[in-house]
């Protein structure tokens, strides 16, 4: 990892932004921002059964599709993180590596602004948010170098 590269480690509830103060041979990641979002379980968010609607074209009723408020909250947090990071780094040309579980990484890619997307030099589809910084360095060095 090059000196000055930014590393975003993200899941649906936590985000850690790091910068490499070291060099390619001896990376030294330092946390520059950490955010945690408390996302209550669905049983605490949902308080009613799905609604019913009348179906057109055939008799009877259909159950309305149930949304997953927990997943919607995670999606909003991921989109917020992408927008926030784009604004934070708008004057900073540093490259970026993103690490997140596959579903979260896919959502982040979908919501990532084009200007920020152009600076992404690597993506790792793995949840590293609960790992210590030394383990993140070791894992990223293995994945990005090999």
Q: What does R_g of the chain's alpha carbons equal in angstroms?
A: 19
Burial of 37 (0-12, 13-18, 19+ CB in 10 A): middle
Confidence of residue 95 (pLDDT cuts 50, 70, 90): very high
Residue 68, pLDDT score:
74
Helix residue spans in 38-101 (DSSP H) = 42-45, 69-88
Q: Which fold has domain 6-40+66-145?
A: Nucleotidyltransferase; domain 5 (3.30.420)
Region 83-96: what's the mean pLDDT? 88
- Annotated domain spans of the chain: 6-40+66-145
Confidence of residue 56 (pLDDT cuts 50, 70, 90): low
% of the chain beyond a pLDDT of 90: 53
């Amino acid at each position: 990892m090059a000196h000055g590269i930014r590393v975003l480690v993200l899941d649906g509830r936590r985000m850690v932004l790091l910068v490499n103060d070291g060099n390619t041979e001896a990376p030294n990641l330092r946390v520059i921002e950490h955010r945690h979002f408390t996302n209550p379980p669905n049983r605490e968010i949902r308080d009613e059964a799905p609604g019913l609607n009348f179906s057109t074209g055939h008799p009877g009723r259909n159950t309305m599709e149930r949304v997953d408020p927990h997943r919607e909250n995670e999606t909003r947090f991921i989109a917020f993180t992408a927008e926030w990071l784009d604004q934070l780094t708008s004057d900073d040309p540093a490259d970026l590596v993103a690490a997140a579980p596959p579903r979260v990484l896919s959502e982040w890619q979908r919501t990532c602004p084009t200007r920020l997307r152009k600076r992404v030099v690597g993506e790792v589809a793995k949840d590293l948010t609960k790992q210590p910084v030394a383990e993140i360095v070791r894992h990223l060095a293995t994945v990005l170098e090999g």
